[in-house]
Amino acid sequence: MKRIAYIRVSTAEQRPDRQIDGLKRISDELHIETLSAVARRRPVYETVVARLEPGDTLVVWSLDRAFRSARDALNELHALQGGGVQFHIADLSLDTATPHGKLTFTLMSAVAEFERDVLIQRTKEGIAAARARGKRIGRPPKLSKRQLSEARRLIDLGTSTRAELAEQYGVAEWTLSRSLKRMAERPST
């Protein structure tokens, strides 16, 4: 009967330290995955779950670190318990082996999904507001309008190839091609 911890962070910049510190005292093994919550496949999680045996407990720091939605959480809990595996959420001291634990798990799953949906909505609203104010969203372009105009002129004259210009500008050829295509599709002002 093992207690196996699953830790997830969304990006390499996020640190799993808080989860590690909280779970190492109460788990026999720690497994860390760096992956967005919306990823379709979670290889580390799938490997951990496949190794669980009846009597084992899957441990996570918080509900949102393991599941994407209330439905996902409830389906996974049902599958785990069907295999004789218990589920423990450390930051809630929640054990799903009891009726009270199952109820709390169900409610917290819905709350976690709600929080995620609100965060997504606020992010979209913030991006829309920034765009409405004329802000450019995303990474800055690698090539300036002047570089693209010059590249278009040299390609049209036949004095340079895309590969040569891409090397000169220090970008991949596909970056230059895609930027030229976008420039051509943009309405001229």
Query: What is the predicted pLDDT for the residue at 74?
Result: 86
Q: And the tokens for 184?
A: 């051509």
Of 10, 69, 160, 177, which is the active-site residue? Answer: 10
Q: Across the chain, how many H-helices and E-strands are there?
A: 7, 5
Cβ-count burial 124-146 (b if 16+ within 10 Å, e if not): eeeeeeeeeeeeeeeeeeebeee
- State residue 189's pLDDT score: 53
Residues 48 and 56 sit within 8 Å (Cβ to Cβ): no
Catalytic annotation present for 10? yes
What pLDDT sits at residue 170?
A: 93
pLDDT score at 188: 64
What is the block-wise mean pLDDT of the chain (189 residues), using blocks of 10 residues? 92 87 92 85 92 94 79 87 90 82 86 87 94 88 92 93 93 92 78
Looking at residue 14, its pLDDT comes to 85
